[in-house]
Chains A and B, each alone.
Chain A
Amino acid sequence: MPRIVSITLQNTDDARPIIEAITADNADCTVHSYPGIVKIDRDDSLTVRRSSVEQRIGRDWDPQELHLSMVSMAGNLDEDDDYFNLSWS
């Protein structure tokens, strides 16, 4: 049975382009919109890509800037300069 990984971000101007990038890059993810926050679930793995976010905000973006918008996450983390990946491995 697949296990769900998830990331929860604030629903703010800073986070919306990240949310957009995640939903564009991760096929079949489920987006739950709650008051003030957005929780994105996906089976097995989910990746936030530096390039996809940079494309949307038009400036350099460090994946560690996620810490400014992130409320919660589920999954094992693999973090590098170009991506932020959650998976159950």
Chain B
Amino acid sequence: MNAPAKLGLKQRYSLLTHGLDWKPSYQPMDKIYPYAEFEGIKIHDWSKWEDPFRLTMDTYWKFQAEKERKLYAVLDSFSQNNGQMGLSDPKYVNAIKLFLTGITPAEYQAHRGFAHVGRQLPGVGPRVAAQMQSLDELRHAQTQIHTLSHYNKFFDGFHEFTHQHDRVWYLSVPKSFFDDARTSGPF
């Protein structure tokens, strides 16, 4: 028996993205994807755009899992050795408080934005790309929260960071920008 030849990366990616798409028959396309033609948007050929990163879901998780194993090994070692006692500059703790209120919620918003876009795009290429981006942003938020939660045991000011998302002054401009970007608001 002849073993079938191994597929190339481009073919594998195509089969696991475009190859998994189907035309809906129970409902019309414009009911399923109401935003695709919102305010007169016209996309002539959804198949023209393809994600340059040819990462399929299995490969994505294989590599991200390996990265996370390394990260969590560092976090374990840091906490077991009371790393928070040996910071070279206490200002670092302030910096990570700013990070947790200023960056992490934006990553989470990006996750939600891309999840929405992924749901609403009828083209399978950008839809899969948006889904991958959405996952990646959620993973960023999660690893940041896990990393900083160790400091929460020893320092004040790490609680209620999502509550602070609407309140810290330094977020006024970037938060407004990302809110608009995420909702296709006015730029």
Are A and B physically bound partners?
yes
Give the interface of A toward B (CB within 8 A): 64-65, 67-68, 76-81
> How far apart are the CA atoms of A76 and B59 in the complex, in Å?
21
The B interface, classified by DSSP as helix, strand, loop or mixed, is: helix
Instruction: Decide yes or no: A80 and B66 within 8 Å by CB, A64-B55, A64-B59 being known contacts.
Output: no
For residue B136, give the distance in angstroms from its CB to the closest CB of chain A: 11
Instruction: Decide yes or no: A76 and B52 within 8 Å by CB, A64-B59, A64-B63 being known contacts.
Output: yes
Tally of contacts, chain A with chain B, CB under 8 A = 25
> How far apart are the CA atoms of A68 and B9 in the complex, in Å?
18
Instruction: Decide yes or no: A81 and B52 within 8 Å by CB, A64-B59, A64-B63, A67-B63 being known contacts.
Output: no
**Nearest neighbor of B64 in chain A, beta-carbon distance:** A67
Q: Would you list 25 pairs from A and B whose C-beta atoms are within 8 A, ordered by A residue?
A: A64-B55, A64-B59, A64-B63, A65-B63, A67-B55, A67-B63, A67-B64, A67-B67, A68-B63, A68-B66, A68-B67, A76-B52, A77-B52, A77-B53, A78-B52, A79-B9, A79-B52, A79-B53, A79-B54, A80-B8, A80-B9, A80-B10, A80-B54, A81-B8, A81-B9
> A residues within 8 A CB of B64?
67
> B residues within 8 A CB of A79?
9, 52-54
> How far apart are the CA atoms of A9 and B9 in the complex, in Å?
23
> B residues within 8 A CB of A67?
55, 63-64, 67
**Nearest neighbor of B12 in chain A, beta-carbon distance:** A81
Q: List B residues 37-71 near A (Cβ within 8 Å).
A: 52-55, 59, 63-64, 66-67
**Nearest neighbor of A12 in chain B, beta-carbon distance:** B70
6 residue pairs, one from A and one from B, having the closest CB atoms: A77-B52, A67-B63, A81-B9, A79-B54, A80-B9, A81-B8
> How far apart are the CA atoms of A80 and B53 in the complex, in Å?
10
> How far apart are the CA atoms of A81 and B8 in the complex, in Å?
7
**Nearest neighbor of B6 in chain A, beta-carbon distance:** A81
> How far apart are the CA atoms of A64 and B12 in the complex, in Å?
14
> How far apart are the CA atoms of A81 and B12 in the complex, in Å?
10
> How far apart are the CA atoms of A76 and B49 in the complex, in Å?
13
**Nearest neighbor of A67 in chain B, beta-carbon distance:** B63
**Nearest neighbor of A76 in chain B, beta-carbon distance:** B52
> B residues within 8 A CB of A77?
52-53
**Nearest neighbor of A80 in chain B, beta-carbon distance:** B9
Q: B5-45 vs A: 1/0 string, CB under 8 Å?
A: 00011100000000000000000000000000000000000
> How far apart are the CA atoms of A51 and B67 in the complex, in Å?
24
> How far apart are the CA atoms of A65 and B64 in the complex, in Å?
10
